[in-house]
Amino acid sequence: MSALVRVEGLVKHYPARRGWLTPGRAEVVRAVDGVSFDIAAGRTLALVGETGCGKTTVGRTLLRLVEPTAGRFTFDGVDVFGLGREPMRALRRRMQVIFQDPSGSLNPRMTVGDAIAEPLIIHRLATRAERPARVAELLAEVGLDASFAPRYPHELSGGQRQRVGIARALSVRPELLICDEPVTALDVSVQAQVLNLLRDLQQAHRLTYLFIAHDLAVVRNVADDVAVMYAGQIVERAPVDRLYGAPRHPYTRALLSAVPVPDPGAARNRIVLSGDVPSPLSPPAGCRFHPRCPHPLKSERCAREVPELRDFGGGQQAACHFGEQPM
Amino acid sequence: MTAPVLAVRDLKTYFVTPAGTARAVDGVSWDLHPGETLAVVGESGCGKTVTSLSVLRLVPEPPGHVLPGSLIEFEGRNLLTLSAPELRAIRGNRIAMVFQEPTAALNPVFTVGEQIAEVARVHLGVSRRAARALAVDLLNQVGVPDAARRAGEYPHQLSGGTCQRVMIAMALVCHPQVLIADEPTTALDVTVQAQILELLARKQAELGMAVLLITHDLGIVAGTADRVVVMYAGQVVETAATGDLFAHPLHPYTAGLLASVPRLDGARGRLRGIPGAVPPATAWPVGCRFHPRCPHAWDKCRTEEPPLLDGPAPGQSARCWLVSEPERRKPA
Amino acid sequence: MSPRATVALLALLAAAGTAVAWARRRALATRAGRRFFGHPAAAWALRVLVFFSLAAALAPLVAPYDPGAQPAIVTLQNAAPSWAHPLGTDVYSADVWSRLVYGGRVSLGVGLLATAIALSVGVGVGATAGYARGWTDALLMRLVDVGLAVPRIFVLLFVVTFWDRISVGALVLVIGLTGWFTTSRLVRAEALSLRERPFVEAARALGASPARIVWRHLLPAAAAPIIVSAALSVGNVMLLESGLSFLGFGVQPPTPSWGAMVADGQGQLATAPWTSFFPGLTIALVVMSWNALGDALRDALDPRPEVS
């Protein structure tokens, strides 16, 4: 069965302005530098990484909110990056997005009802008479009462706003939903409610999710497959149980060990990385993680040779020269 | 049990808003003992940040005010009744604070070295040169590589993690007795968070400081705190030693929070969560403030507000009628 | 003055007072309203504007005399204020108050209509340039640069000099079309910053067309500076019109206009000062009120959160 989503060699470079005192080549911010993955219909792929790894940029390029520098995105056989304006608008019905900031992504001057109805108007999915009923239906699906329709975003809590955002995205009955850090800005108890809601909706509508996040515990709860990003590239990709049970890449291991566990008795073997995430203007040569890598077998090969994503069986791939001997 | 270095008794901080009086902190009491880490845990709107700001009287006075009858005792004096100069002598000196957004809390037009040196000059009265040397030394101690060069850089040139280290350096200049850390790692990546927490633990052990850690992350609490205070709707709803809190939480809100957190080592699948939402601070529910969302609530909960009742474990208490009537607890 | 006119005048004063009082009561419930009425001049500005707007709108009912009527040419010429003529009569032997009321139709009308035209063009150009960016933006802004470089009064004088006996409508058009440049810059700046906001990005992700995004999302968010700009512009346009009419180039007689009335009274400033004074005072009062309104609106609609 061919995947619903197929991304190949996605690249996004931003031109960085040269300082006027430093002439020379124009610098390039390598936000995304060669990312490939597949998502089968009905599954959830989580894209995980820390600030600056490029995961949010991946989401935005797939939606063509920013145009990619290179790469190919095939959605149900359609080459998305090659579409013209009108076909692209039509395609937007099939892929939608939920943003991280629930208050920012809703127009503060539009009522909840208007915000949810907007996609219905844009894509002509309901007549004027039908809209209120449809909006009430969608509100109910996300667990909100129809009385929310005339309210404004500032009257709602963070969790409620996020539900409105979800209702808005669902109004066009998409097949793919890109969730860009949907629960990061929410309190823990609200986060649980929204995660449960996303799970229920996926089952009810057979949705496919690209779930972008940095919280590994959340990702473990929602994902079927996980791809770990670092400095614009995918360093490890595996089904969720394999990634959490037997990570191969040193960065994945460090990331997992750094997640605080809500259990005072749990053993804490924290791998504390030194230094900071590399600048996307000048990533290290060879393996981008090598300056911070705590792997005991790290050698000058890591500084010289870029590791490719290699297969380790069971659908797990990692980009490390020493993946066979994890730390 | 040694005497607490910081004792808060019946703290009430209210805000006057167009929608009425918001009782953000409504009778909060806790003790912070020397050398211990006390975590104050809660979600948005519970009052934990306002509590920490009230300690140092940083709450903006026109809309907010601390009610008389509140007591914040430090070194034998009530911080709420000190004069402005006396309070300034304590802030940054005996009690220091680290904030959530490191890049925003630092002054963008001064180098980080200058900002650390300023603390030294103001409180320790050292010369400019000595202060500068002290700043570089502190940057070294908090793990900033190439400290001498870094001291001459501006906040916008540094990463979030480095800025937070700078803030911690500023807080530690005078070897404070109490460090208040308000969500110090929330804005940071998880690997950087680990570094910062490790730094704080190391410094605490070195200096024998007491740390008041305000956070919403139960994972951090489990890893760093000795005792925990859980806040909800402006009140303390549970106090316990960390081990006791996680092993047998008394208050249904605490239990709900623990059930909401997805875990690396737990089962995958639906999270239990807590139904409903936090009520507005201008209209706390009558009776137990948590009763509208509580699976165990009965009539008494809706009419009578429970006091903090002592539980079976020493030092553990919860604001819940289930403590005195445990048979009412419904099975999970 | 006839009893009808007296009653009408008193009714106008009462209406202005109560309308503002009612608006104030409702506005004090909102934060913006409180900021607006916090301005000491705001309430008075509103009263003045409501009074003159109502007077102009209901001119036939309010004015005691027909402004064109010249009942007793000799005896009533330049008569001092009296009970029959509360503001006196002018050189045409017409009642000053009546001419003022009818003149308000022209002056206020030109002010509002020309501003409406300027606003429409300015908002359209600014929003398009700010949202589209790139070549469209560059081209439009060069046009605006040219427009801003040429002094407005010069252009207006040029046009009216060559246009013999310009009609009021044409005057409105010309004033409007020479006054949109600053607004377009303002709206462009707003559009540039707003287009990066998350909710605009969300609208693009939903598939909204650029036109829809500009109309439904950008402009309502940019409403505040546009409204303020509009209020200030009306005052400005009224001054322009008064100036042109004063010079004889604007509104042509017999249509009354406050500026023309000031000009008419020039000849008898020493003997009958009220003929220029009252229209002049009216112009000053109304323009100042528009400016005060603009200032108060700017504070009221300022999106910056209150300093707590």
Total number of domains in chain B: 2
In a domain, A100, yes or no: no
What is the pLDDT confidence band of residue A18, given thresholds at 50, 70 and 90? low
What is the per-residue pLDDT for B238?
96
pLDDT band at B28 (very low <50, low <70, confident <90, very high): very high
Q: Is the pLDDT of residue C211 over 60?
A: yes
Give CA–CA dist A161/B71, Å, rounded. 38
- Chain C residues in contact with A107 (beta carbon < 8 A): 199, 203, 216-217, 220-221
CA distances from A160 to B223, B261, C175 (A): 31, 19, 49
Residue A23: what pLDDT? 57
- Considering only CA atoms, which of A179, A15, A19 is closest in space to residue A96? A179
Residue at token pair 């202060």: B131
Is the same domain home to A183 and A275? yes
Q: What is the DSSP string of A12-72?
A: EEEEEPPPTTS-SSPEEEEEEEEEEEEE-TT-EEEEE--TTSSHHHHHHHHTTSS--SEEE
Q: Residue C152 and residue B133: Cα distance in Å, rounded?
A: 62
Check CB contact of C308 with chain B, cutoff 8 Å: yes
Query: Which chain A residue lies closest to C221 (C-alpha atoms)?
Result: A109
- Looking at B173, B205, B226, the residue that finishes a domain is B173
Q: Which of these three, B173, B198, B222, is where a domain ends?
A: B173
Work out how many CB contacts closer than 8 A connect A with C: 55
Q: What are phi and psi of B250, to 5 degrees?
A: -90, -40
Question: What is the average pLDDT across B2-14?
Answer: 92
Across the interface, which of A50, A160, A262 has its CB nearest the CB of B263? A262
Cβ atoms of B50 and B8 closer than 8 Å: no
Query: How does pLDDT run across C96-116, given as a tens digit for each residue?
Result: 888 888 889 889 999 999 999
Measured in whole angstroms, the distance separating CA A266 from the mean position of its chain's CA atoms is 29
Q: Domain of B111?
A: 101-173
pLDDT at B150 over 80: yes
Q: What pairs with residue C17 in β-bridges?
A: none
Pair (B164, B216) in one structural domain:
no
Beta bridge partners of A177: A96, A209
Express each pLDDT in C271-295 by its tens digit. 888 888 889 999 999 999 999 999 8
Distances (CA, A) of B118 to A123, B102, B126, B132: 60, 17, 10, 9
CB-based contact, B280 to chain A, within 8 Å: no
Residue A325, in any domain of the structure: no
The SS3 call for residue A177 is strand
Work out the minimum CA distance from A22 to partner chain B, whole angstroms. 18
> Do the chains contact at A118 and C198, CB–CB below 8 Å?
no
Q: In this structure, is residue A128 part of a structural domain? A: yes
A241, closest residue in chain B (CA to CA): B268
Beta carbons of B72 and B55 less than 8 angstroms apart: yes
Domain limits for position A167: 108-173
pLDDT in tens, C122-170: 999 999 999 988 899 999 999 999 999 999 888 888 888 888 777 888 8
What is the DSSP track for C87-126?
A: T-B-TTS-BHHHHHHHHHHHHHHHHHHHHHHHHHHHHHHH
Query: Would you say residue C306 has pLDDT above 50?
Result: no
pLDDT tier, C251 (very low <50, low <70, confident <90, very high otherwise): confident
Inter-chain residue contact B216 with A187, CB threshold 8 Å:
yes
> Do B119 and B168 contact (CB within 8 A), yes or no?
no
pLDDT at B192 exceeding the cut of 90: no
pLDDT tens-digit series, residues B253-272: 999 999 999 888 777 888 88
Residue C35: is its pLDDT beyond 70? Answer: yes
* CATH code of the domain covering residue A264: 3.40.50.300
Same domain, B164 and B179: no
- Select from B153, B173, B193 the last residue of a domain: B173
The answer as to whether A327 is a domain residue is: no
Domains and CATH numbers, chain C: 3-301 (1.10.3720.10)
Asked whether residue A285 carries a pLDDT value surpassing 90, the answer given is no
Q: What residues are paired with B14 via a beta bridge? A: B65
Task: Choose among A22, A33, A78: nearest CA to A281.
Answer: A33
Q: Are residues A205 and A141 in the same domain?
A: no
Tokens of A191: 């986060």
Higher pLDDT, residue B281 or B267: B281
State yes or no: pLDDT of B91 exceeds 80.
yes
Is the CB of residue B219 less than 8 Å from the CB of residue A260?
yes
Model confidence at B188, pLDDT cuts 50, 70, 90, reads confident
pLDDT of residue C308: 32
Evaluate the omega torsion of the peptide bond into residue B279 and state whether it is cis, within 30 degrees of 0.
Answer: no
A255 contact residues in B (CB cutoff 8 A): 190-191
In a domain, A323, yes or no: no
Interval C62-72: pLDDT, tens:
777 777 666 66
Q: What is the mean pLDDT of residues B54-81?
A: 90
Tokens of C298: 């700017």
Q: Do B60 and C31 touch (CB under 8 A)?
A: no
Residue A223 has pLDDT above 60, yes or no: yes
Q: Is residue B230 a part of any domain in this protein?
A: yes
- Per-residue confidence at A83, pLDDT binned at 50, 70, 90? very high
C28 touches chain B (CB under 8 A): no
CA distance B271 to B262: 7
CA atoms within 13 A on the CB side of C173: 7
Residues in chain B: 332
A189 and A252 in a single domain? The answer is: yes
pLDDT at B195: 85
Quick one: C121 exposed, middle or buried, by C-beta within 10 A (0-12, 13-18, 19+)? middle
Residues A57 and A187 occupy one common structural domain: yes
B311 and B201 in a common domain: yes
* Residues of chain C contacting residue B60, judged by C-beta atoms under 8 Å apart: 308
B touches which chains (3+ CB pairs under 8 A)? A, C
H helices present in chain B, as ranges = 48-55, 84-90, 102-105, 112-124, 128-141, 147-150, 160-172, 190-207, 218-224, 242-247, 252-260, 299-303
On whether the CB atoms of residues C308 and B63 are closer than 8 A, the answer is yes
Structure tokens at A162: 């996020």
What is the average per-residue pLDDT within B79-89? 89
Cα A27 to Cα A19: distance, rounded to the nearest angstrom: 10
Q: Which of A171-180, B15-24, B157-166 has the highest mean pLDDT?
A: A171-180
C206 contacts in A (CB within 8 Å)? 92, 96, 118-119, 122, 168, 172
Residues B316 and B282 in one domain: yes
Q: Which residue has the tokens 């996020």?
A: A162
Q: What backbone phi and psi angles, to 5 degrees, belong to B218?
A: -70, -25
- What backbone phi and psi angles, to 5 degrees, belong to A211? -105, 110
For residue B101, give the nearest of B16, B15, B168, B160 by alpha carbon: B160
Average pLDDT over residues A52-57: 90
What number of H helices and E strands is found in chain B? Answer: 12, 13
C83 to A200, A318, C27, C95, C290: CA distances (angstroms): 82, 99, 39, 12, 31
Of A173, A193, A221, which one is at a domain's C-terminal end? A173
| Per-residue pLDDT at C305 | 47
Asked if pLDDT for residue A77 goes beyond 50, the answer is yes
Q: β-strands B95-98, B178-182: how paired?
A: parallel
Pairing of strands B227-232, B210-215: unpaired
Within a domain: residue B1? no
Q: What is the ipTM of this complex?
A: 0.85
Give the model's confidence band at A268: pLDDT under 50 very low, under 70 low, under 90 confident, else very high: confident
Instruction: Assess whether pLDDT exceeds 60 at residue C84.
Output: yes
Q: By the 8 A CB rule, do A104 and C199 touch? A: yes
A76-90: average pLDDT: 92
Q: Which residue of B has its CA nearest to A221?
A: B268
Question: Are residues A304 and A261 part of one domain?
Answer: yes
pLDDT at position B318 is: 95
CATH number, residue B263: 3.40.50.300
What values do phi and psi take at B182, rounded to 5? Answer: -95, 100
> Does the residue A324 lie in any domain?
no
Q: How many domains does chain A have?
A: 2
Distance CA B326, CA B330 (A): 9
Query: B226 or C307: which carries more pLDDT confidence?
Result: B226
Same domain, A308 and A295: yes
Strand partners, A63: none
* Residue among C193, C206, C209 with most chain A CBs within 10 A, to mutate: C206
Task: For residues B315 and B204, state if they share a domain.
Answer: yes
User: Does A187 lie in the same domain as A140?
Assistant: no
pLDDT in tens, A234-259: 999 999 999 999 999 999 998 888 88
**Based on the domain organization, do A217 and A300 belong to the same domain?**
yes
Domain shared by A56 and A201, yes or no: yes
Res. A322 pLDDT band, cuts 50 70 90 = confident
Residue C30: band (very low, low, confident or very high) from pLDDT cuts 50, 70, 90: confident
Position C86 confidence tier, pLDDT thresholds 50, 70, 90: confident
- B260 within some domain: yes
Instruction: Answer whether B63 sits within 8 Å of C31, measured CB to CB.
Output: no
Position of tokens 């137990």? B288
